[in-house]
Amino acid sequence: MKQVFGLTSLKGAITMPPDKSIAHRSAMFAALADGESVIENYSMAADPQTTLSCFRQLGVNIEQTGTTVTVKGVGRSGFSRPEAPIDCGNSGTTARLLTGILAGAGIEATLVGDDSLSSRTMRRIMAPLSQMGVSFEARDGDFLPLRIIPASDHRVIPMEYSLPIPSAQVKSCILLAGLFGSEPTVVAEPVVSRDHTEKLLNLPVLEKDGVRYISTSTDTEIPLQNYSVPGDFSAAAFWLVAGCIYPNADITLKNVGINPTRTAAMNILKRMGADIEITNHSLRVSEPVADMTVRFSQLHATDILPEEVPNCIDELPILSVAMAFAQGVSSFRGAEDLRHKESDRLAAVAALLRGAGVDFEEHHDGLTIQGNPGFVAAPATYESLHDHRIAMSAAILAGRSSGKSVIKDASCTAISYPRFWDDLSVLSEM
Ligand code: S3P
């Protein structure tokens, strides 16, 4: 539990935690490579640490000193069959990408997770992997615990698959299974989702009539390379919004990944009138990185289009907070998938807005929010529902209130951002 008081302003410079999506992938791809890789700036957050423990259970030697991780990759055929169920904790990315690797590598295993992960659908990966010849036993045919039963003779059947929903986890899961097929497995992606898997594995991407086609097979060379994980844009988004809505705010965020498939929230904030400056561009293992400075500005309303949703899916909770402080009526639709994240994030955000006294309407796939530039949130008790992004959104909202608010299970921020509460103190003391 944390108490948050109305804060006068936020000022200063902080460094963003390592990107969760890239950290997971760097560890997995290093484990799949033939030889040793060093990963700099690996995340201490709970989810990426879970990925390390899962691969240790598969016989991969992984050492960590501070934020430097050394992985002795075992190649495609070097994983050992785990003796016990593999615990994916709270991490959907770990569970879904790991399932693709195990299915491809022909390793029989059972995945388990915490209550939240055990209530998230796995059908979206079981359906395509079944077409590749892999079988499953899942609770109620959909949920963890999930037993992966490899294809007969341990060879996946290559296939062409058009993603029915824009999901980087589903895309990556299939492509990782496809690494073990004798012929190319092709994933067709009509709406682009985060492309870290393609970038870090240097996968060929063809674009035709607005659809991306990405393929893998045994011929795909898994690069033996060192990694340096950029700061997490999804963590930066909390401060970008805070910088816009806290009077006189002036916040610099260092070392933030600005891959265009991740930064839709920044573009949306800019069109709402945000004052965001990007400096110090550089490249880290094919991922662009920069510093960002955000200063208080008067926001105006916007409608987020359904096609923008996949590239700001994790930022919609905090964008909803921004909308509450913008002049006019804002909305987003086409975000039904938010109901299948670490919590039902549409219901969870609705509860935050209700607690703070925001005027809004909840739809099955989005929210319509009546903003007010002079809004002061009512002091409230917020449930994080053990969802890190809900806890952090609640914190930013609570700081713009007239009194003391309480955030329950506030330590769940450590799932992606262990220093979140420290950074809030640093910025509010300057
Ligand atoms: C992720 C993809 C997204 C995102 C999640 C991380 C990834 O999930 O919400 O936090 O690293 O691939 P979906 O693929 O389910 O949209």
The rounded radius of gyration (Å) of the Cα atoms in the chain is 21
Q: Which atom of ligand 1 is nearest to the CA of 24?
A: 11
167 alpha carbon to ligand 1 midpoint, in Å?
Answer: 6
Order of strands across the sheet that contains 86-87? 86-87, 109-112, 143-149, 135-139
Order of strands across the sheet that contains 205-208? 160-162, 185-189, 211-216, 205-208
> What is the residue whose two structure tokens read 């450590």?
414
Q: Which atom of ligand 1 is nearest to the CA of 167?
A: 14
Q: What is the pLDDT of residue 117?
A: 98
405 alpha carbon to ligand 1 midpoint, in Å?
Answer: 30
Task: For the domain covering 2-18+230-429, report its CATH number.
Answer: 3.65.10.10
Q: What is the pLDDT of residues 245-266, one digit of tens each?
A: 999 999 999 999 999 999 999 9
Mutate to test the pocket of ligand 1, among 167, 195, 308 (most ligand atoms within 8 A of CB): 167
Q: What is the pLDDT of residues 64-89, one digit of tens each?
A: 999 999 999 999 999 999 999 999 99
Segments of the chain assigned to CATH 3.65.10.10: 2-18+230-429, 20-227
Residues with CB under 6 A from ligand 1: 21, 93, 167-169, 172, 194, 313-314
First vs last Cα of the chain: how many Å apart?
Answer: 24
Amino acid at 427: L
Q: What is the pLDDT of residue 154?
A: 84
Give 239's pLDDT tier (boundaries 50, 70, 90): very high
* CB atoms closer than 10 angstroms to residue 235: 28
| Residue 314 designated active-site | yes
Task: Using alpha carbons, select from 37, 42, 40 the residue that is nearest to residue 17.
Answer: 42
Q: What is the pLDDT of residues 168-208, one digit of tens each?
A: 999 999 999 999 999 999 999 999 999 999 999 999 999 99
- Cβ–Cβ under 8 Å, residues 221 and 215: no
Q: What is the pLDDT of residue 367?
A: 98
125 alpha carbon to ligand 1 midpoint, in Å?
Answer: 13
Q: What is the pLDDT of residue 430?
A: 59
Task: Tell me the three state secondary structure of residue 287.
Answer: strand
Q: Whose CA is nearest to atom 9 of ligand 1?
A: 314
Mutate to test the pocket of ligand 1, among 43, 194, 343 (most ligand atoms within 8 A of CB): 194
**Distance between CA atoms of residues 184 and 177, nearest Å:** 11
Task: Using alpha carbons, select from 309, 331, 343 the residue that is nearest to residue 168.
Answer: 309
User: In sequence order, what E strands does 41-133 have?
Assistant: 61-65, 68-74, 86-87, 109-112
Q: What is the pLDDT of residues 349-367, one digit of tens each?
A: 999 999 999 999 999 999 9
220 alpha carbon to ligand 1 midpoint, in Å?
Answer: 23
Q: Which of 195, 250, 291, 314 is catalytic?
A: 314
Summarize the confidence of residues 278-305 as an average pLDDT.
96
* CB atoms closer than 10 angstroms to residue 421: 19
Annotation: CATH topology of 20-227: UDP-n-acetylglucosamine1-carboxyvinyl-transferase; Chain (3.65.10)
Summarize the confidence of residues 117-135 as an average pLDDT.
98
Q: What is the pLDDT of residue 406?
A: 97
Beta pairing, strands 250-257 & 11-15: parallel
